[in-house]
């Protein structure tokens, strides 16, 4: 997988930025009050078309939706394309980006926006798991996974454009619904990218030693070297 130089340092710096942003957002009440005004303004201007889009994304990028998408694409690559390395790599990249949100949710424990203060709460949620957004982290993880998969094909440009557009649209939907603050969705972009970089670095270093030893993958054909796949 392609990586920046000093990839471990990049992963650490992005993670530190996410944690710092989360602690600032949690400790400074004025910061959260200012952010909440964005949610309230979006809540004031709901319309049926945008609400339908936002609620559809709410379900597609939910935990259940994430499992279905990742499993379906990985299974397709494994069974239809006989490409075990791509199947494992796709699943690993997408999951790494997605699960990054769970780590920082535990570390920061920021309360979600109060739905009672919104003009039109569409999917009221409460709890201390606001920072960062799992939906956006999933979208970013999938964006990286599809880009890595398509980067040497005619689909690379489309994957790149969609990989930028879809996470931004999902981030907007979380604010539109009123279940996250702007810093929550921004942090997801950074957190998911940090974990994808970390996963890619570990993958590049160790996959050639580990994957050939997994018996299940051998049933779908030989496990090729990293020079032949991805």
Looking up residue 130, the CATH number of its domain turns out to be 1.20.144
172: burial class by Cβ within 10 Å (0-12, 13-18, 19+)?
middle
CA angle at 130 for the pair 71 and 50, rounded to the nearest 5°: 75
Are residues 121 and 115 in contact, defined by beta-carbon separation less than 8 angstroms? yes
Q: Does residue 217 belong to any structural domain of this protein?
A: no
Q: Is the pLDDT of residue 224 over 80?
A: no
| pLDDT attached to residue 223 | 44
The span from the CA of 198 to the CA of 86, in Å, is: 18
The span from the CA of 228 to the CA of 152, in Å, is: 12
Bond into 67 cis (ω within 30): no
Q: Provide mean pLDDT across the span 104-109.
A: 95
Instruction: List C-alpha distances in Å: 208 to 203, 217, 227.
Output: 8, 13, 10
| pLDDT attached to residue 4 | 86
- pLDDT band with cut points at 50, 70 and 90 for residue 221: very low
Q: Is the pLDDT of residue 124 over 60?
A: yes
Question: Over the chain, what is the mean pLDDT?
Answer: 90
- pLDDT band with cut points at 50, 70 and 90 for residue 217: low
Bigger pLDDT: 152 or 197?
197
| pLDDT attached to residue 8 | 95
Q: Does residue 88 belong to any structural domain of this protein?
A: yes
- Three-state DSSP class for 122? coil
Q: Is the pLDDT of residue 121 over 50?
A: yes
- What value does the CA radius of gyration of the chain take, rounded to a whole number of Å? 19
Domain of 199, in residue numbers: 7-208
Q: Does residue 112 belong to any structural domain of this protein?
A: yes
Q: Does residue 184 belong to any structural domain of this protein?
A: yes
Q: Does residue 199 belong to any structural domain of this protein?
A: yes
| pLDDT attached to residue 212 | 63
pTM exceeding 0.85: yes
- pLDDT band with cut points at 50, 70 and 90 for residue 206: confident
| pLDDT attached to residue 215 | 57
93 token code pair: 């990249």
Count of domains observed in the chain? 1
Nearest one of 147, 143, 138, 137 to 189, comparing CA atoms = 137
The span from the CA of 210 to the CA of 36, in Å, is: 47
Nearest one of 73, 97, 77, 72 to 194, comparing CA atoms = 97
Are residues 92 and 199 in contact, defined by beta-carbon separation less than 8 angstroms? yes
Q: Is the pLDDT of residue 144 over 80?
A: yes
Q: Does residue 71 belong to any structural domain of this protein?
A: yes
Q: Does residue 93 belong to any structural domain of this protein?
A: yes
């Amino acid at each position: 997988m392609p990586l920046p130089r000093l990839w471990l340092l990049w992963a650490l710096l992005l993670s530190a930025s996410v944690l710092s942003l989360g602690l600032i957002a949690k400790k400074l009440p004025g910061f959260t009050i200012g952010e909440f005004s964005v949610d309230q303004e979006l809540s004031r201007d709901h319309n049926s078309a945008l609400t339908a889009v936002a609620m559809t994304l709410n379900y597609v990028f939910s935990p259940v939706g994430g499992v279905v998408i990742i499993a379906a694409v990985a299974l397709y690559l494994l069974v239809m394309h006989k490409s075990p390395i791509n199947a494992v790599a796709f699943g690993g990249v997408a999951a790494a980006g997605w699960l990054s949100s769970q780590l920082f949710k535990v570390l920061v424990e920021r309360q979600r926006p109060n739905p009672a203060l919104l003009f039109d709460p569409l999917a009221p949620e409460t709890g201390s798991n606001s920072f960062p957004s799992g939906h956006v982290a999933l979208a970013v993880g999938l964006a990286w996974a599809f880009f890595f998969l398509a980067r040497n094909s005619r689909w690379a440009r489309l994957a790149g454009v969609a990989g930028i557009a879809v996470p931004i649209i999902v981030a907007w939907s979380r604010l539109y619904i009123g279940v996250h603050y702007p810093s929550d969705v921004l942090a997801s972009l950074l957190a998911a990218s940090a974990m994808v970089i970390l996963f890619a670095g570990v993958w590049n270093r160790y996959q050639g030693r580990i994957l050939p030893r997994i018996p299940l993958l051998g049933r779908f054909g030989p496990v090729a070297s990293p020079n032949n796949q991805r």
